[in-house]
Amino acid sequence: MGSLAESAFTTSQARHDLTTTIHHWQLRDLVAAGDTSDELLYVCDSSVFQYNLSTREVTAVLCLDWSPNSMTYAYGMLAAGGPSSQLCLKDLREKRVIHRDPLGGSVNNAVHIARMAGQLLLYACNNDHFVKVFNIGPHGLTPSTSFRTQVPINYCALSPDERYLSCVGDCAETIVYAVRESSYTRLHSFREAHDTGQVLFETWGFSVA
């Protein structure tokens, strides 16, 4: 999947006093980068807020009647998943809600937005051992496929070349699926830690946390 590159870390830091909340000890993917380097989104109670690091302005961009335990933002789309399969998807650039209904099943442990062959996709990792994949359209979600996993998945990420989906969950393994159009075939698994909560693809490979 590519050669390793030398990591570079910033030594600068700044303190920003923001209140964030978690609603499950294991599910903590509740902060996301915005459209620019000055923007981030975060969950507090039953709302998602947008914060500008330069102006320190806080704006509520999504208010719900349930508390998200998963959240993501990409391509202008904000998605939040709830404890009883709730899913809300909002186009922040157009300022309109695209979907606000349960997906069925159990807890939505994680949500991930990616682009494949020009089509925006939403991945919902449900605690009932299923990863559900949806096409994102201008007026709603269309089911694409779903596949069962051996353990509940707590996070997934599609590789930049759109060929692999990497998943971590209630086990010590990272599981890699080969992606072929709408099919997902388990390709490989490896163990890097006693407990894994997130996997990130970079242009040169991937990392596990």
Question: Hey, what are 209's tokens?
Answer: 């946390």
- Provide the pLDDT for residue 173: 85
Q: How many CB atoms lie within 10 A of CB 3?
A: 6
Cα R_g (the chain), whole angstroms: 17
pLDDT exceeds 80 at position 106? yes
Give CA–CA dist 131/142, Å, rounded: 15
pLDDT exceeds 70 at position 197? no
Alpha carbon 209 to chain centroid distance? 14
pTM, 2 dp? 0.84
- Provide the pLDDT for residue 3: 45
15: pLDDT confidence band, cut at 50, 70 and 90?
A: confident
Determine the topology of domain 31-156 in CATH: Methylamine Dehydrogenase; Chain H (2.130.10)
Burial status of residue 156 (CB atoms within 10 A of its CB: 0-12, 13-18, 19 or more): buried
- Provide the pLDDT for residue 169: 83
Nearest to 148 by CA among 198, 186, 102, 195: 186
Could you report the per-residue pLDDT of 38-64, keeping only the tens digit for each? 999 999 999 999 999 999 999 999 999
Give CA–CA dist 24/59, Å, rounded: 24
- Provide the pLDDT for residue 209: 46
Do the strands 39-44 and 47-52 form a parallel or antiparallel pair, or are they unpaired? antiparallel
Mean pLDDT of the chain: 86
